[in-house]
């Protein structure tokens, strides 16, 4: 259930995002999900890829500050109120969210969550019969 997400530190200068995507393309690595957190000076690129170990190695070799972060991916129906329900469960069980990003694929919506306590988050969601995406499935998208 634990998903390995790549996090990359980027300075705010033009072309950096392009360099990352080009590098991964060259290595034959596909991106499943992708998000950028930005501040006035730097950004953090977070993504889930087809082969995180290979991507990690390639990025390090090219002098990027990169780390692997454990996240969880929730799958809920792609319809109004579905996400609210999941978030209410987490909130009622005192699980805080550091950040999240989401993408829909047809009938279902996937929400990548970085909670403050990963294990607790997973068990709370499972207890409430929420569907979690398997890592191997997510990497294939």
Beta bridge partners of 113: 72, 100
* Footprint of other proteins on 61-90 (CB under 8 A): 63-67, 69
Of 74, 60, 73, the C-alpha closest to 27 is: 60
Which distant-in-sequence residues (6+ apart) come within 8 Å of 104 by Cβ?
A: 78, 110
Nearest approach, Cβ of 100 to other proteins (angstroms)?
12
Nearer to other proteins, 8 or 130 (CB): 8
Nearer to other proteins, 14 or 129 (CB): 14
The verdict on 41 binding other proteins (CB under 8 A) reads yes
Nearest approach, Cβ of 118 to other proteins (angstroms)?
13
DSSP code string of 22-50: HHHHHTTPPEEEEEEEE-SSEEEEEEEES
Binding stretches for other proteins (CB under 8 A): 5, 7, 9-11, 37, 39, 41-42, 44, 46, 60, 63-67, 69, 98-99, 114
């Amino acid at each position: 259930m634990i998903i390995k997400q790549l996090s990359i530190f980027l300075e705010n200068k033009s072309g950096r995002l392009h360099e990352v995507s080009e590098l991964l393309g060259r290595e034959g690595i596909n991106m499943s999900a992708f998000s950028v957190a930005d501040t006035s000076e730097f950004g953090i690129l977070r993504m889930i890829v087809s082969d995180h170990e290979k991507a990690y190695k390639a990025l390090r070799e090219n002098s990027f500050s990169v780390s692997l972060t454990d996240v969880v991916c929730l799958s809920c129906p792609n319809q109004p109120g579905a996400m609210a329900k999941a978030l209410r469960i987490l909130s009622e069980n005192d699980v805080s969210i550091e950040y999240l990003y989401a993408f829909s694929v047809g009938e279902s919506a996937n929400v990548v969550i970085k909670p403050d306590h990963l294990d607790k988050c997973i068990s709370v969601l499972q207890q409430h019969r929420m569907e979690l995406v398997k890592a191997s499935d997510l990497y294939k998208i």
